[in-house]
Chain A
Amino acid sequence: MDTLVRATALSRQFGQHSALSDVELCLERGQVLGLLGANGAGKTTCLRLLSGLLAPTAGRIEILGIDLVRQPLAAKRHLGYLPERPPLYPELRVDEYLTYCARLQRLPRRAIAEAVATAKQRCGLDEHGRRLIATLSRGYRQRLGLAQAILHRPAVLILDEPTEGLDPVQMRELRGLIRELAQDAGIILSSHLLPEVQAVCDRVMILHQGRVRLDAAIQTSRPTNRWRVQLGEPLAVEALKLLAPVAEAQALGSNRFQIELCEGTNSADLARALLLAELDLCELAPERSDLERTFFDLIGAEEQHG
């Protein structure tokens, strides 16, 4: 596969504080990598390092084999970056701003009009070319921020919290756009939203206190049929396993269980079986996704109740 980004032993310190330590990162063409982590985990620092806005204290970053520190101009030509706050000029119109960004990216003069039109069309800004940026809503500003990042069709797209400020419809559109862009580019995005990362990313990297705690592929399209059950009184887990819809059961406490249902059955079947067995059903809830569980396990914030 075509390696677009390779970060080796990447570290960054702010004074005595170590924001990022020994991060190894590799991004292939066609891949969407999600950076997950709590506030202060080092996500934004990592993205700022990869976009060339910060210099690493130690380590090396290569963009398409070009050293980002030694040859920043050549490497930055292949990068598109959407920071947490879109870098906009409120006094400019949308078209003026995108044209300016295209020139900054050193696009050939002849290609600028077409690049601006394509970026606007992809981000749903067709009708807003003449509008002043100051008058755009937060969602449209975010779209414009994305438009400036994809304007020059970069090989590597770095998006810091791209769905911030978007409504649910826009978020769904953005997911589609990210998948579309990933066909001929590599994308790194950070987010607090686990379902979003699960929906759009091929790989996830979980950062905690500046260190990579997990770097793994996301197993997609595996329907979860796992439920969490709380009964009115304590029960042996073996008794639950005897119920027809239950494929596997695991005790989480004396009256709390995690149950994997047989194929073709659903929560209604489980509830019916529990009531027929004359058990008091206090709670029946879908188990959290694998990613969510992994995330909380890794950052050590697993809730002790519920």
Chain B
Amino acid sequence: MIGTIAAREIRTGLVTPLLWVLLGSGQIVLAWIFLHVIERFSGLEASERLVSLTQELCVNLFGLAAVLTMLAAPLLAMRMLSAELRDGSYERLAGAPVRVGEIVLGKLIGLAVLLTPVCLLPAANLALLTGITPLDLGQIAAATLGLWLAALFFGAIGLQASSLTEQPGAAVLLAFGVLLLFSIIGQAETLTAQDLSLFGWLAWNEHLFRFLLGMVRLSDLGYFLGFIGLFLALTHRHLANRQLD
């Protein structure tokens, strides 16, 4: 059943223009950054090169792609619940012999599949350098994994916001607000004692950065998976409570 719901979401995502516009515009911006980094790196003397080309590209390309997915995920997620609640098509799902958990997981998997091409864009750009210069494939794989997990995290927040309102625009703004909070919360650390690292830990960018450096740590995996689970549980709770509203 999860597969049926996910497949319908993927089909809808592929036949509507939103994903293609995101992919097209995302690739244009990434290509521009890619060329800029290559040009800057090739202009440096060997002694001036403090980090490898792979690291330079990973931090810049995947960092920018993370911002792109942060914009894309709520836009794709708003259609999955909020627009369905508005148009009445959610009643087809709610009236079927399907568990709310299956609906939520189906939507998340559909969203994950639709976001995967966006997450693969930086790696596709880096693939152009294959055979021209040595690349650290392990670091690229870690960065891609980190970006994909971050995309799922953004998607889970998008789904939760989407379950809260029948107004897709409001759902997107709500998701952007929460994501912005999770982006800047690390800055709060400077306002408090330096040894209090809770706010820094809450910010997603800190965790993604370690993936971009090629480090796959259980604590970072736990951060993303934990928050994905939390926001999915909140989505589940809200959808289940709709019967009582």
Contacts and interface: CB of A to CB of B under 8 A. Distances in A.
Interface stretch (B96-104, B169-177, B189-197): B96-104
Interface stretch (B4-12, B21-29, B55-63): B4-12
Contacts of A148: 92
Interface stretch (A29-37, A95-103, A178-186, A261-269): A95-103
Given A55-B244, A88-B89, A104 B96 contact: yes
A74 interface: yes
A76 interface: yes
Nearest to A53: B94
A101 B91 contact: no
Given A87-B88, A92-B11, A92-B12, A53 B95 contact: yes
Interface centre among B4, B16, B95 (most CB of A within 10 A): B95
B91 A87 contact: yes
A123 to B, nearest CB: 16
A91 B16 contact: yes
Given A87-B89, A91-B12, A91-B16, A73 B95 contact: no
Contacts of B93: 104
Interface in A101-120: 101, 103-106
A116 to B, nearest CB: 14
Nearest to B93: A104
A81 interface: yes
Interface string B23-53: 0000000000000000000000000000000
Contact of A83 (B1, B88, B98): B88
Contacts of B91: 53, 81, 83, 87
B1 A101 contact: no
B20 interface: no
A103 B8 CA distance: 11
A278 B99 CA distance: 75
A197 interface: no
Given A51-B95, A83-B88, A91 B243 contact: no
10 tightest CB-CB pairs across the interface, nearest first? A87-B92, A104-B96, A85-B88, A76-B97, A55-B243, A103-B4, A73-B97, A87-B89, A81-B95, A87-B91
5 contacts: A73-B99, A84-B88, A89-B12, A89-B89, A104-B5
Given A86-B88, A101-B96, 19 more contacts: A14-B245, A51-B95, A55-B244, A77-B97, A81-B91, A83-B91, A84-B88, A87-B87, A87-B88, A87-B92, A88-B89, A91-B16, A104-B1, A104-B5, A104-B92, A104-B97, A104-B98, A105-B96, A106-B97
Interface of B: 1, 4-5, 8, 11-12, 15-16, 87-99, 243-245
